[in-house]
Structures are given as C-alpha cells and as structure tokens.
Chains A and B, each alone.
Chain A
Amino acid sequence: MNEVPLTHILFVSTALFFTGMYGLFTRRNMITMLMAVELILNSVNINFVAFNKYLYPDKLDGVFFTIFIITIAAAEAAVAIAIIINLYRSHHSIDVEDAGELKF
C-alpha cells in the first residue's frame, strides 16, 4: 500500500475532479450536470481518505468527513432532482440553455 506515493493518489483524484468540472461546463442536460457534480464530490472524498491514511493514521477524522460528505451529497442529489422536476414542469425541458431568464 505504501509503495504508492501519496502524490499519485492525489493526481488521480485531481484528474477525476477536473473531469467532473469539464462535465459541469459542457453538459446541457441538467441531470448530466448533476452527475458531474457527484464526480467532483467523490474526488474530494478520495482526497480525505488518502490524507487520513498517509499522514494521520492514528486519527479517523478523514473517514468521518467522508461519511458526512456522502450523506450530504445524497441529500443534495435528492433536492437537486426535485428542483429539476419542478423546472421541467414549467419549462417542459431540462436543457439548461432554456432556463435563461436571468439574461439582461
């Protein structure tokens, strides 16, 4: 386990983070944007666990952070789906370009 240096794990999680970010910028469908957000959250989870394991093996703080983040991500996904459904009812589309009422 310890032959993989910490920085490699961090590289991996960074790559996952930016993949999620690309999806956030590019996807037009709101549900796929939500999926990208989930990827971002998960990359952060990996970071917490990795740091906990490599730098502070005596404590469990990172693990707890991860548990809580998973919980909150679930709640957030639920609320986001509710919002998407509501928006779908008024706009009849979940294309994020169609929700442009904030235009000047």
Chain B
Amino acid sequence: MNHYSYIALIPLLPLATFVILGLFGRKYFKTFSGTVGTLSLLASAVLSLITAYQYFLVDGPVNGIYQKIIPLQYTWLQFSPNVSIDLGILLDPISVMMLVVVSFVSLMVHIFSLGYMKGEERFATYYAFLSLFTFSMLGLVISTNIFQIYMFWELVGVSSFLLIGFYFEKPSAVAASKKAFIVTRFADLGFLIGILILSFHAHTLDFNTLITRLTSVQSPEFINITSTSFLGMSVLTWGLTLVFIGGAGKSAMFPLHIWLPDAMEGPTPVSALIHAATMVVAGVYLVARLFPVFSMDAIALNIVTYVGLVSALIAAVIACTQTDIKRVLAYSTMSQIGYMMFALGVARQGGEEGLGYMGSMFHLFTHAFFKSLLFLGAGAVIHMVHSNDMKDMGGLRKLMPITHISFLIACLAISGIPPFAGFFSKEEILLASFNANKLVYGVALFTSGLTAFYMFRLYYNIFWSKAAHVHEPHHGEGTWSMKLPLIILAIMAVIAGFIPFAHFVTSDGALLETPINYLFSVAPVLLAVAGIGLATVLYKSQNGKPDAVAVGLGGFYKAAYHKFYIDELYLFITKKVIFNLIGRPAAWFDKNIVDGTMNVIATLTAKLSVAIKGFQSGKVQNYALYFFGGIAVLAVLFIYIWK
C-alpha cells in the first residue's frame, strides 16, 4: 500500500503552484505563470493516470471486488476517542476515476487558457486561482472523512467565488459571484446539519466506518438512527436529505440552481472547468460516496430521484429558449447532472440493481469530456466574435474548422448518437430507470429528445444559420493552445464510450456485465434523431419558423424564456419577506435599544462626571467645608453608630 504514497503529490502540486503564483506571480513570473501552472498540472495529470493504471490494472480486484485503500491518514483533531477529524487519502473506484477526470480536464483548461487569457493583466492571479480550485477539487475527491470533504467543499466554493468574480470591475460579475457563494453556502448549512446528524448517530466521522455502521441492519447505530423519528420521518432520512440538500446546492439542482446561469459571467475556461465538468458534479459525487447509506432509505432516494428528474426536465425546457450560448450550455449542464442524480436515485446497492450507480458515474465521466469540449469551443467562438449572443453568430463553420468539427462531435455525443461516448452512458441510465420506474423512464426519454433539439439549435445558430460577418477576422481561429485541447477532448468524446466502465466502477465494487441491448436503444436514438431533424428544419438556415413556434406556444414560451420566474421569486422572498419582516426589525432593535442603552449609560456617566467636576471649584473655603463635612460624617459614624 505504501507504493501509493506519491498520491499525496497529486493535490499538493497545485497547492504549491497556488502559493507560489499567488505570492510571486504578479511581479516575477508574469506571463510565465501560465507555463508554471500548466506544467504542475501536467505532472498531477500524469500521476493520476499512473494511479488509475496501478489501481485498476496492476493491483486489480481482490476476489472480484475493488478494495478501498487508504494509503495515508493523519489524525488532525481528536474530539473523543471515537470521533476525530482525520485528513487522509481514500482510493476506491470512484475516487480514482474522479482524480483522472479532474486533473485531465483541468490540464486541458490550463492549456486553453494560455491562448484565451493572453494579454490579460491579472494572468498570474488567474492561474493561481485555477490551481487553488484544482487542489480543492482533488482534495474533495480523495477525502476519507466527512469533515474533510466539507472543508474541501467550502474551499471549492471559495475558488468558484474568486473565479466567477474574476472580472471584478463588472458589477454583474461581482453580483454573480456573490449569488453563487451565498446560495451554495446556504445549501451547505443543510449539509453541515446532515453531517452532524449522521456522525452523531454513527459515532464517527470516517466514511468507511460510517458506511459500515449505518448499512448493517443489526448494528446498534442503525437501529438507533432508524427508530428515532422527527416530524414523521426517521432521523436517517433527515440526515440523508440534509446532506443531499448540500449536494443539490453545489450541483445546481432545482430549486437551488439559480446561481449556475449567472456564474457564466466568469471567463469561459473557468466555466468549462468548474461549472461543467468538476465542481458541479461534487454533489453527485457526495451522494455516490454515501450511496450505501442512501440505499438503506427509500424516502431519501426518492427525493434524490425526483429532484434530479425535475431539474433535468426544467433545464432542458429553459435551454430551448435562451440566446446566450453560455447560458444554453449552463442549463444543459444542469439537465445532465439531473440525469446523474436520478440515475443514482433509481439504483439500489449491489449487482444488477446497482446499474443506475454505474450509469451515473459513467455519465459523469463522459459528460466531463464533451461538456468541457462544448464550453471550450464556445470560448473559442466568443474569442472570435467578441459576443456571447447567438444573434451575433452564424456561418462560422468556414472560419473555424477545427472548432466546428469538435463542437459537432460534442453535440452528437451529448445527444446520445452512437458510437459517441454519450450514447453508452445515457443508455445505461435509461435502462436503469426503465427497470426501476416507468414514469422516470418516460420523462428521461422525453428530456433526451429535448437535449438533442436544443444542442443542435445551438450548433446551427453558431455555425450555419446565416452568412458570417465577423468584424475583424484578424486572428483566425486561435492559437495552437486553443486548438489542441479541443482536438484531444474530441478524441476522448469519441473513444470514452468504449471503455468497459462496468468492469471498474460499480455500486459494490464487483464486476458487472453490461451488454448493449440493441432493441432498447432504438427508442432513445430515434428520439434524438427526431430532435436533430426538428432543429435542422428550424435553424439550419435563417427563416421565420422559430418565431412562429414561439408565438404559437405563447405564454409557456414566455415563462420558459424568463426561466420560469424563479429568480424573481427568490428576490421577492428575500426583499419583501426576509429583509422587511426580519432584517429591518432586527436592525431597529439593534440601533435603538442596544445602542440606545449604551448611549444612555454613556450620557449618564458624562453628566455625573460634569457634576462631580464642579466640586473642584478652586475656592479654598468650599474645600474646607467639604473637609469638615467629611470629618463630621466620619466622627458621627465611628462614635455613635459603630461603637
């Protein structure tokens, strides 16, 4: 096991880069900081691949089950003999997979940013923040201890805040970063309470111990936690639901999704890294990590399922109406994560029933590649056109061939067209939901059709639609640093589907055979093709049909365009209810009563002191009278009263 100790370098290299670039980058490294960041991340990515190779292929499964290995553990805070906050590294199939995903996508984003952020004044700061984020995310996925994951959770939130608000001169960026941080922080409150509930009942904070204790039906902790109930649900349900609320906030599930579209104010590579491939899947990762405990409680899993499903559907509907290309991609992310969530929700622990778990993780893996590819491609387009809006784009396929091809590959992948990666992962999810719950299957199927539609709507509006009229096509498509990641990610989007994922990552660690069910795949593929066809008809060349459809749908279209007015609802509640009913009275109380008391005391003291000051009048005879008065009082006191 000690031959895994190099794994400590994987998060620590980006941390060191953050410190160095943060302190010295501006003055000493300047534009070289990009190279520094990229090199350190290259090292991390290579080490992650070596780890994956070592874990999956060299060490392999023991008795058919992949072992959970803890190469490093260090006790940090000991609360009691049982409960302590440890910092350690946990290796199991999903954490190794996440190591590979996070470091690889982060490397691609680092390379892309060399070209995209060129000329930016705060170049070194940008790379420092990127390294901080990578460190936090890597730390999150290898956590052994639920508190360690919470710490890195918050760190990831902070890095996201810093990166969304990178262009801090723009008030919209500042507002967006605040919104992201506040919404996720609010969700983390639920997370913290959930942690406390679960760890209190399991008497431990360590993941492995917690899972073992809360999943065996005879263990005293399990009996205790399921027999105590609060407001009708057992404490286990409450704990798991609260933990899921934390995950839902970070993963932008309905109704805590409001921060994700606004987070597109950050630079596009940041959106590719954080809000597409890595940070937003942290919630899914959390549920997957605690999956054995979740599978003991049907109510919690139902909540996960329906929240995921609703998010997937609503996001897909909204994405059909948006015109800002980054916002379309943001809602698309929300929709795909919804898929991952409900896939986890319909799964159960072990064997065939764990298909949803495997499908969710597989989709996470493939989605990271094609979504980051989509964002980076969008970044290249924005770099060329200097605008985010679809109306300013069109006919770019001649001007940006490589971007065009890779974007097309990604769109095909996300729509679930074989043989691209998305087909395989989506098929597993649909199969799992078909086996578990027909309603979920139906909605998922409809949503995948919608996915194909809005993705190709986006594709056609950028690359076909009308003739190109770019203002200054002086810098062509972009430097090699912007093209190379697109090519690499496009290759991954093609071949990643062929990895026999079920041999590596399953709910209980054992191997699962998943042959392709051709008959079953007909329905989703047909629906996807129909979506693509509809999009072609409406958007391939410029015509009046989309506007006619919009008018025809009337009020529903309007509501979807305004994102179902959820932002307005939140604003209303915050301003009218919380500020007016709670905030203002509290402020009044503080200013008038608390401060008022202090002021009164101070004024009284001042008045008293002025009065006493008057005794020193400078008149000697007054002093003599006071003197005599004092003597008289003392004399009477000592002679008559205290004998």
- Which of A5-13, A46-54, A78-86, A94-102 lies at the interface? A94-102
Q: Name the residue of chain B whose CB is nearest to the CB of A26.
A: B621
**Chain A nearest Cβ from B611, distance in angstroms:** 12
Residue A39 interfacial (CB < 8 Å): no
Give the A-binding residues of B (Cβ under 8 A): 613-614, 616-621, 624-625, 628
24 sample A-B contacts, Cβ–Cβ < 8 Å, listed by A number: A21-B628, A24-B621, A24-B624, A25-B621, A25-B625, A26-B621, A96-B619, A96-B620, A96-B621, A99-B618, A99-B620, A100-B617, A100-B618, A100-B619, A101-B618, A102-B618, A103-B616, A103-B617, A103-B618, A104-B613, A104-B614, A104-B616, A104-B617, A104-B618
B619-A97 in contact (CB<8A): yes
- In angstroms, Cα B625 to Cα A26, docked, is 10
Give the B-binding residues of A (Cβ under 8 A): 21, 24-26, 96-97, 99-104
Residues of B within 8 A of A104 (CB): 613-614, 616-618
Apart from the given pairs A103-B618, A104-B614, 15 other A-B contacts in the complex at a CB distance below 8 Å:
A24-B621, A24-B624, A25-B621, A25-B625, A25-B628, A96-B621, A99-B618, A99-B620, A100-B617, A100-B618, A100-B619, A102-B616, A104-B613, A104-B616, A104-B617
Residues of A within 8 A of B618 (CB): 99-104
- In angstroms, Cα B628 to Cα A25, docked, is 10
- In angstroms, Cα B625 to Cα A96, docked, is 15
**Chain B nearest Cβ from A10, distance in angstroms:** 17
Residues of A within 8 A of B621 (CB): 24-26, 96
**Chain A nearest Cβ from B394, distance in angstroms:** 85
- In angstroms, Cα B625 to Cα A21, docked, is 10
Complex A-B, nearest 10 residue pairs according to Cβ-Cβ distance, in ascending order: A103-B618, A100-B618, A102-B618, A104-B616, A104-B613, A25-B621, A103-B617, A25-B625, A96-B620, A25-B624
- In angstroms, Cα B616 to Cα A65, docked, is 37
Residues of B within 8 A of A25 (CB): 621, 624-625, 628
Residues of A within 8 A of B628 (CB): 21, 25
Residues of B within 8 A of A26 (CB): 621
Q: Name the residue of chain B whose CB is nearest to the CB of A96.
A: B620
Q: Name the residue of chain B whose CB is nearest to the CB of A100.
A: B618
Q: Name the residue of chain A whose CB is nearest to the CB of B620.
A: A96
- In angstroms, Cα B615 to Cα A102, docked, is 11
Interface centre among B616, B621, B628 (most CB of A within 10 A): B621
**Chain A nearest Cβ from B142, distance in angstroms:** 71
Residues of B within 8 A of A103 (CB): 616-618
**Chain B nearest Cβ from A19, distance in angstroms:** 14
- In angstroms, Cα B619 to Cα A75, docked, is 25
Residues of A within 8 A of B613 (CB): 104
Residues of A within 8 A of B616 (CB): 102-104
**Chain A nearest Cβ from B575, distance in angstroms:** 54
Interface centre among B617, B618, B624 (most CB of A within 10 A): B618
Q: Name the residue of chain B whose CB is nearest to the CB of A24.
A: B624
**Chain A nearest Cβ from B619, distance in angstroms:** 6
Residues of B within 8 A of A102 (CB): 616, 618
**Chain B nearest Cβ from A20, distance in angstroms:** 12
**Chain B nearest Cβ from A53, distance in angstroms:** 27
Residues of B within 8 A of A96 (CB): 619-621
Q: Name the residue of chain A whose CB is nearest to the CB of B612.
A: A104
**Chain A nearest Cβ from B598, distance in angstroms:** 26
**Chain B nearest Cβ from A73, distance in angstroms:** 19
Residues of B within 8 A of A24 (CB): 621, 624
Q: Name the residue of chain B whose CB is nearest to the CB of A102.
A: B618
**Chain A nearest Cβ from B629, distance in angstroms:** 11
- In angstroms, Cα B428 to Cα A44, docked, is 118
